[in-house]
Amino acid sequence: MALTQGPILVTTDLSPLGDEALSRAGDLARALARPLVLLSVVEVPVAPSALYAHYYPSPTPAQMAEAHKKVESELARRAEPLRAAGLKVDLQVRAGEPALEISKTVAALTPSLLVLSTHGRTGVKHFLLGSVAERVLRSTKCPVLLVR
């Protein structure tokens, strides 16, 4: 599949695995002369049902704003070396369910490539925790590079 002329979208959960995906995306952006878009999603906790809403209170707007600010700061820190190397880097922080927000960003941005990390969970952990990467793969139409 040929890559379009869009930017390379890389998602990160700000973990070492996400940093590895960012490093790979940076290498590709340099090689292909493409801009990068760094995306991180601030996950909003949701109660599994109304019965548990007391135990899973929704974050306040102030808490969400603070989380957004922290994530944006971390993304900016990770973007510095890429920008110093001459790459054009845009930052996006979204709030919500990660797979859904990544899919929405892909639809809006139409990147030439999506780079994301996967923790490679299997068995019970995969069943209980699910896989953001798997859900994104099922919903996106652009080429995807999974970094494990």
Residues 84-131 have pLDDT tens digits of 999 999 999 999 999 999 999 999 999 999 999 886 555 444 443 357
pTM: predicted TM-score of the whole model, two decimal places: 0.85
Instruction: Report the distance separating Cα 16 and Cα 110, nearest Å.
Output: 26
The more confident residue out of 144 and 120 is: 144
pLDDT at 120: 56
Neighbouring residues of 53: CB distance < 8 A, sequence distance ≥ 6:
47
The more confident residue out of 35 and 132 is: 35
